[in-house]
Amino acid sequence: MKTNTNKAEVSGNALAAAGVAQSPETVNELIARIRSKDDKVRGPAWQGAALAGASAVKPLAEVMMDPDFEIARAAKRGLSRIVRHAGRPGAKREAKAVAAELVQLLQSPHALVRREAVWMLSEIGEDGVIAPMAVLLADPEAREDARCALMRFAGRQATSAFRSAFLSAPEDFKYALAESLRERGVKVDGYPSPKVVPSRKTTVGEPPNQ
């Protein structure tokens, strides 16, 4: 089967397999190409961004806020390529480095960046990223993304994060947190799932008219 892989990507993959990191100059070049108005330049740039590594995480996150939709989307796609590449088998050190950069993005002033970061961390992060992710459970602009992303983590640490968040959460968000806790086997009184609450009045269980 034919592929669209070019010589540059083949060479880059070989370097990645050997554990060779790209230089800051290469990251700068990547950002410049992603900012290009020419899709023939921008497209191959984000498609081959996987090898840029942890050093490109923050620069790409900044470009995600570009007013040009296509440029912003290219930056997001490029960052996703980096995350997926870092999450490959046998690249634990690389995944840890990328995750560390993503954790810092959780404090971004831009909600879009925070939301994307929390999802990407759920793909490659280990238990150490749960606590900083859980901080976003109190973030009105990112709390639902954080809740869903944290559901990808098994174990007591994530469950404890949901418990803690539930205690101080506003009423409207307690229902979602209660649902997450129930799915993890924790009994929660009140705050029923919206799935079982009738949206319209029914006559089920009412005595027939006499």
**Tens digits of residue pLDDT in 52-104:** 999 999 999 999 999 999 999 999 999 999 999 999 999 999 999 999 999 99
Distance CA 138, CA 48 (A): 36
Mean pLDDT of 178-206: 76
| Structure confidence at residue 128 (pLDDT) | 95
pLDDT of residue 192: 85
Same domain, 58 and 98: no
Domain that holds residue 69: 23-86
Q: Of 33, 60, 86, at which residue does a domain stop?
A: 86
Whether the model pTM is above 0.95 = no
Looking up residue 111, the CATH number of its domain turns out to be 1.25.10.10
For residue 210, being part of any structural domain is answered with: no
Give the tokens for residue 34.
Answer: 């992603």
Tokens of 201: 């009045």
Whether pLDDT at 4 is above 70: no
The per-residue pLDDT for 75 is 98
CATH of the domain at 54: 1.25.10
Please report how the helices 143-150 and 171-183 are oriented relative to each other, as an axis angle in degrees rounded to 10: 10
Per-residue pLDDT reduced to its tens digit, 7-49: 333 334 443 433 334 445 599 999 999 999 999 999 999 999 9
The average confidence (pLDDT) of the chain is 86
**69 and 135 share one domain:** no
Q: 206 lies in a domain?
A: no
Tokens standing for residue 175: 């229902």
